[in-house]
């Protein structure tokens, strides 16, 4: 695990962002006769040539099954696969044996939930007893979660008899920390929450929440999907037990994500998926499992995708995560200020950029979010509309759907200004300003 911070990188500006955009082939295309302005990176980010080339080069030069066979290609593929794990571990402040490859963050969160469920059913032996849940135990999450960090815990509660508690949010989208202090009591066994909201852009107070969880000896699980791609993250320093994130949001391929887990916890947690590649000994009656992380990587792995994700991490590191964070903050502040000046637009989340990421979600009075999205798409502007897999959060905020603008390292202030200009026309176009 890296002990020293990455060296400072030059700050990003419009010229630097345009230069970076040239690395992304898809960003050079037109949509509906206009140059593409891509502002949907919160859903999925575009891929630089370095990532695309890395995946293709693996298939062209090393393609073989990993951790199987003794031939040259198998050895080369295994070496590259495990080197990718080491790269990603360094990127998030972890040890190599603390990174489990998954299909996505949703699978990573379900892996933990089903591991706890298996422990609650008596699987895993003495080492897994610490994870067992039952009646009287409590799982705590928040009202601001993506469905991927809500539904698995609903299901776990239903399977084990545990109770699910939810920390409410305030009107500005921030967590009600007074309520959190009351809800997180000695019955709480699991505390799980998002680092950064994919709707309100709220950056949750991780240190405060971790302190509350540690005081009652709860497992602490972090949804880091909206933080790892956009700011420097060190899971060891955050003091969480597990964390999940996706590759496709951080310039990597689809079909690859990762679970971080403390080594001692991963090695005690019963596996979720079982089969080949995660065992030491199998009889017709039973099996013994490999240590983590391999015990959670049953079957044929996403080898090319993992190697390409490491290339994405290297690309981001070369640009500099602090530089990326600061530039997104600049773009988000510009979008936030501009949107607040347009009549009939309500911005979701806090007004203070110090409490936000660069994401801006908004509600246009009298116009459905899908119509807003279509209006912008006609001008070549790609944004996200809908409930963003966060229906309870939207319901709390009094809207059924929202329009989300999520910039990244390859966007410029011109992209933001063009989007604001288009948004200023929406209500008039649909006759909602009468």
Count the neighbouring beta carbons within 10 Å of the beta carbon of residue 237. Answer: 11
Question: What was the pLDDT predicted at 9?
Answer: 77
- Work out the end-to-end distance of the chain between its first and last CA atoms, rounded to an integer number of angstroms: 59
**Domain 54-317: assigned CATH number:** 3.40.640.10
Going along 125-175, which residue ranges are E strands? 138-142, 163-167
**Residue 255: band (very low, low, confident or very high) from pLDDT cuts 50, 70, 90:** very high
Question: What was the pLDDT predicted at 68?
Answer: 84
Question: What was the pLDDT predicted at 5?
Answer: 44
Nearest to 231 by CA among 96, 95, 93, 347: 93
80-96 pLDDT per residue, tens: 999 999 999 999 999 99
Question: What was the pLDDT predicted at 69?
Answer: 79
**Residue 7: band (very low, low, confident or very high) from pLDDT cuts 50, 70, 90:** low
294-304 pLDDT per residue, tens: 999 999 999 99
- What mean pLDDT value characterizes the chain? 96
- ω into residue 295 within 30 of 0, thus cis? no
**Is residue 65 classed exposed, middle or buried when 0-12, 13-18 and 19+ CB atoms within 10 A define those classes?**
middle
CB 309 within 8 A of CB 228: no
Domain residue ranges in the chain: 14-47+320-429, 54-317
Check pLDDT > 80 for residue 1: no
The larger pLDDT score, comparing residue 272 to residue 217, is at: 217
Question: What was the pLDDT predicted at 233?
Answer: 98
**Domain 14-47+320-429: assigned CATH number:** 3.90.1150.10
182-197 pLDDT per residue, tens: 999 999 999 999 999 9
Question: What was the pLDDT predicted at 3?
Answer: 43
Question: What was the pLDDT predicted at 299?
Answer: 94
Just list the catalytic residues. Answer: 389
Q: How far apart are CA 401 and CA 398, in angstroms?
A: 9
């Amino acid at each position: 695990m890296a002990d020293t911070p990455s060296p400072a990188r030059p700050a990003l500006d419009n010229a630097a962002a345009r230069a970076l955009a040239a690395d992304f082939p898809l960003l050079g295309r037109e949509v509906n006769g206009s140059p593409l302005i891509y502002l949907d990176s919160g859903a999925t980010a575009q891929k630089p040539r370095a990532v695309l080339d890395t995946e293709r080069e693996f298939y062209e030069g090393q393609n073989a099954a990993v951790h199987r066979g003794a031939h040259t290609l198998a050895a080369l593929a295994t070496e590259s696969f495990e080197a990718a794990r080491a790269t990603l571990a360094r990127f998030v402040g972890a040890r190599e044996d603390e990174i489990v490859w998954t299909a996505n963050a949703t699978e990573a969160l379900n892996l933990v939930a089903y591991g706890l469920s298996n422990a609650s059913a008596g699987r895993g032996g003495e080492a897994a007893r610490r994870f067992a849940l039952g009646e009287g135990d409590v799982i705590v999450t928040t009202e601001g979660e993506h469905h991927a960090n809500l539904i698995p815990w609903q299901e776990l509660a239903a399977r084990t008899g545990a109770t699910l508690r939810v920390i409410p949010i305030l009107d500005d989208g921030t967590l009600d920390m007074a309520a959190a202090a009351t809800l997180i009591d000695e019955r709480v066994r699991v505390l799980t929450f998002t680092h950064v909201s994919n709707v309100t852009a709220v950056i949750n107070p991780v240190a405060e929440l971790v302190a509350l969880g540690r005081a009652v000896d709860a497992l602490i699980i972090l949804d880091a999907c909206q933080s790892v791609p956009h700011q420097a993250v060190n899971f060891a320093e955050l003091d969480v037990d597990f964390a999940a994130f996706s590759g496709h949001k951080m310039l990597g391929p689809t079909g690859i994500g990762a679970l971080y887990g403390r080594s001692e916890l991963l090695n005690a947690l019963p596996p979720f998926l079982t089969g080949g590649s995660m065992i030491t000994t199998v009889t017709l009656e039973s099996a013994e499992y490999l240590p983590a992380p391999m015990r959670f990587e049953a079957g044929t792995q996403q080898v090319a995708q993992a190697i390409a994700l490491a290339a994405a991490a290297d690309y981001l590191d070369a640009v500099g995560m602090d530089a990326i964070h600061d530039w997104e903050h600049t773009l988000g502040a510009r979008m936030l200020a501009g949107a607040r000046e347009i009549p009939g637009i309500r911005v979701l989340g806090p007004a203070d950029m110090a409490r936000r990421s660069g994401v801006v979600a908004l509600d246009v009075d009298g116009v459905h979010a899908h119509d807003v999205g279509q209006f912008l798409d006609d001008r070549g502007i790609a944004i996200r509309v809908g409930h963003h897999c966060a229906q309870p959060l939207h319901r709390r905020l009094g809207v059924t759907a929202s329009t989300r603008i999520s910039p990244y390292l390859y966007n410029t202030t011109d992209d933001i200004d063009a989007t604001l200009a288009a948004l200023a026309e929406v209500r008039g176009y649909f006759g909602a300003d009468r």
